[in-house]
Amino acid sequence: MDMTGKTVMITGASRGIGAEAARVFAEANANVVLLARSQDAIADLAGEIGKTAIAIPCNVARFGEMSSAVETALGAFGSVDVLINNAGVIEPISHLATSDPDEWGQVIDINLKGVYNGMRAVLPVMKNAKGGTILTISSGAAHHAIEAWSHYCASKAAVNMLGRSVHLEEASNGIRAIGLSPGTVATKMQREIKASGINPISMLAWEDHIPADWPARTLLWMCSPAADKFCGEEISLRDDDIRKAVGLI
């Protein structure tokens, strides 16, 4: 997939899937806009990639910051063709009855409102350009309750519906919206999950998790016409047919 002339905005780009996606899209000749709260990490990554990358410190939970980031991207590269909603948190892992209301709400602010803010900020730009792609990192937690993950499950279920809403309202304007459920990925989040010692996912061996470049490469494939049949839906990297289509197996 050649992304020459296209600009990709990635939230949560400081590490894990977001950082790997930045590298994969840069290798495909895309301009990449790196968003995260970790200013030093995205600055280092932008330096690694080179002149086709810019780093913008941003808290996705604040719409004003997301809107400003889109304007900065437009000023730097002239377009925002792809938005990857990757930013997400799972801490603090806690049973609902003992959860801290403010901390529970902060996860919703990042995982759900952050996705809405990104969509809301780029949609006018994409509609004006008569097309664009919005890719959102989902999870099996969107479809199944998991012990002590009420905040994460609720936010991912809502995000799945946000993607479907974008498809319903904007597909006629050339805007593609697809979710990606990557499964368990060898990232810092999985270390946090393992440290909690709660529920079967925390008991998985590290080698059971897929590398972060797998979902990153899948996100690039999702920008191609081969993924058009999944618009408005969610694909899973647990699906061998998807892995084969992407070239992972």
- Displacement of CA 139 from its chain's centroid (Å): 11
Residue 33 and residue 18 in contact, taking contact as beta carbons nearer than 8 Å? no
Q: How far is CA 177 from CA 129, 224, 233, in A?
A: 16, 12, 8
d(CA 165, CA 163): 5
Q: How far is CA 207 from CA 49, 59, 217, in A?
A: 28, 32, 19
Residue in 152, 201, 220, 242 annotated catalytic: 152
Residue 85 and residue 115 in contact, taking contact as beta carbons nearer than 8 Å? yes
d(CA 70, CA 79): 9
Report CA torsion sign: 49, 55, 59, 63. Answer: negative
Catalytic residue at 116? no
DSSP line for 9-71: EEESTTSHHHHHHHHHHHHTT-EEEEEES-HHHHHHHHHHH-TTEEEEE--TT-HHHHHHHHH
Question: Active-site residues: which are they?
Answer: 152
